[in-house]
Structure 1
Amino acid sequence: MGPWSRRRFLIEFGKGTTALVLLGPVAAACGSEPRGNDGTPEAASSSSTSSSSLAATTIPANPTTTEAQVAPESSGDTRWERVLMSNVSAYILVRNSKAVIVDAGHAGLIDDIEAGLQRVGVAWADVGDVILTHMHSDHIGGLPAVMERATSATAHAGEPDIEAMQSPRPLSVVADGDEVVGLRIIGTPGHTPGHVCVLDATAGILVAGDALNESEGEVLGASSRFSSDMTAANESVKKLATFDYSTILMGHGDPITSNGSQMVADLSSTL
């Protein structure tokens, strides 16, 4: 095991509040069909791509900025904003001035992450941690650039996926039940062996990576086409149904803003 995949003790940064940024670009590696700017599906590529490939595609940014929204059933002044960039969604969850970025997206989208940070009043210097939900290239392609700008940040990922990730600094291994600045790590293998989700229990927000998807207001499980083990993926959905949250932020699909855990429980009952 290389030095970047050795377990590192998480540094307790105290109980300060955080700002959470999720970048969830749509790519063939993670399930949703690519769509054009008019919302119609594009033809699927005939070439196959390894799920652990680090090749990244630059997607032209065409951001649509919306007002930051108050997270339902949250405490304090937690708020989140969705940044829609063609077929890429970024989410910013603000709790005071500390920042955690969850997933780094494709290479070439770093300026869009920076613009999102600026809109919620934080800077790269405020980013203390980066959490990668899994190893697919549409979630980790931008990691080197993120770590170069967030010079004080520590990156974290599940051990089975960490060897596929490239970063200018060592990564810390996280596992089920760990916490990163008060955010609960939930081990959710299946889409990839080391997939993790991130739960802000105080605000009632689940950052689901690709363990869950959304289509036309419906919560779906991991894509069978792009998941390594659907039996494990379905068990992870059942596990997510045992937690309490209102909001679900997905790598692919629109956010769910109410009754999130109930919707996941309903999905779980069908598996």
Structure 2
Amino acid sequence: MKIANGVEMLEVSSNVMGSRSVINPTLIYDKDVSILVDTGYPGQSPQIRQAIEDAGISFDKLNMVILTHHDIDHIGSLSSIIKELPNSVKVLAHREEEAYINGIKTPIKLARLEANFNSLSDDMKIIYEKLKAGFKGRKADVNKTLIDGEELPYCEGIEVIHTPGHTLGHICLYLKQLKILIAGDILAVEDGVLVKAPDFINFDADLNIKSLKKLTEYDIETVICYHGGLYNNNANKCIAELAKK
């Protein structure tokens, strides 16, 4: 779906443990660069390739990936995408995420489940095993680490907003000229309503609220949520209300 000139919200179907849903990576591009924001679950590189081609951009021209964080539904197809492309792909992520993406550290939520494995329910033990298998072999090098407030000189300026809580190095991207926020998992859309990520999937719920308050400092007209897609109905007001909860 075209959101603005140079901004496409991709729609990629997924089936996770029997539950069907759609995830929304974002494609940002101009004459010099094609950037994919987040890379889906393991095994989704063919669908992502097709979604990029359907947007009218050659998959082979993709030369940068920005990761909002290291959860498996965001980094799952990264290594496959890198292998498939003929040219070098530069991978960017917040510096707090690098060690999880390159495999030095165990993914933060997987480590939490692992530490409490004996007390997990049978269902949660199954989820743990599937998550562990999903991360296996998915590591990739991060070529550039990002910091809060950094402006990337592409597509008229992309500001990095460090929004920890969901993970420690979670980021949003703000396209300042277009007033578009690429929200990662700090926000979602459910039945047309903008909502915050539920506390149980966040590493630190209190930190997540602080990050929501940080977003109120930006003039945001359009939000692209990885889960739920597009929201453009008085986004500033909705984010301010969510930050109070």
**Which category describes the TM-score, using the shorter chain as reference length?**
0.7 to 0.9
Tell me if structure 2 keeps the 8 A contact 1:92–1:116. no
Cα deviation 1:128-182 (Å, max 9, x = unaligned): 3211111111111111012223432211111222111145544321011112322
2:143 equivalent to 1:171: yes
Amino acid at match of 1:186: I
Bigger RCO (CA 8 Å, 6+ sep)? 1
Structure 2 partner of 1:58: none
Whose helix proportion is higher, 1 or 2? 2
Offset of residue 126 of structure 1: 2.3
Structure 2 partner of 1:221: 196
Offset of residue 88 of structure 1: 2.4
| Distance across 1 between alignment mates of 2:97 and 2:12 | 27
Work out which of the residue numbers 66, 90, 102 in structure 1 matches 2:24: 90
Structure 2 partner of 1:80: 8
Structure 2 partner of 1:119: 54
Offset of residue 91 of structure 1: 4.5
Structure 1 partner of 2:133: none
| Distance across 1 between alignment mates of 2:227 and 2:146 | 23
Q: Count the aligned residue pairs.
A: 198
Runs of 5+ unmatched residues, structure 2: 14-19, 103-138
Amino acid at match of 1:251: Y
Structure 2 partner of 1:133: 68
Work out which of the residue numbers 153, 158, 162 in structure 1 matches 2:98: 162
Q: Helix, strand or coil for the counterpart of 2:101? A: coil
| Distance across 2 between alignment mates of 1:70 and 1:208 | 14
Q: Helix, strand or coil for the counterpart of 2:24? A: strand
What RMSD over aligned residues (CA atoms) do the two structures have, in Å? 2.1
Structure 2 partner of 1:265: 240
Tell me if structure 2 keeps the 8 A contact 1:103–1:140. yes
Offset of residue 185 of structure 1: 0.5
Cα deviation 1:201-220 (Å, max 9, x = unaligned): 11221111111122222222
Pair 219,165 (structure 1): closer, same or farther in 2 beyond 3 Å = same
Pair 227,84 (structure 1): closer, same or farther in 2 beyond 3 Å = same
Pair 230,168 (structure 1): closer, same or farther in 2 beyond 3 Å = closer
Tell me if structure 1 keeps the 8 A contact 2:216–2:240. yes
Pair 174,96 (structure 1): closer, same or farther in 2 beyond 3 Å = closer
Q: Helix, strand or coil for the counterpart of 1:164? A: helix
Tell me if structure 2 keeps the 8 A contact 1:101–1:129. yes
Tell me if structure 2 keeps the 8 A contact 1:124–1:149. no
Structure 2 partner of 1:197: 172
Q: What is the 5 A alignment of 1:9-158?
A: 68-71=1-4, 77-78=5-6, 80-85=8-13, 86-93=20-27, 95-97=29-31, 98-150=33-85, 151-158=87-94
Percent identity between matched residues is 27
Amino acid at match of 2:49: E
Tell me the TM-score normalized by structure 1.
Answer: 0.67
Tell me the TM-score normalized by structure 2.
Answer: 0.73
Tell me if structure 2 keeps the 8 A contact 1:190–1:228. yes
| Distance across 1 between alignment mates of 2:3 and 2:168 | 34
Runs of 5+ unmatched residues, structure 1: 1-67, 72-76
Structure 1 consecutive aligned stretches of length 4 or more whose deviation exceeds 6 Å:
none
| Distance across 1 between alignment mates of 2:37 and 2:26 | 10
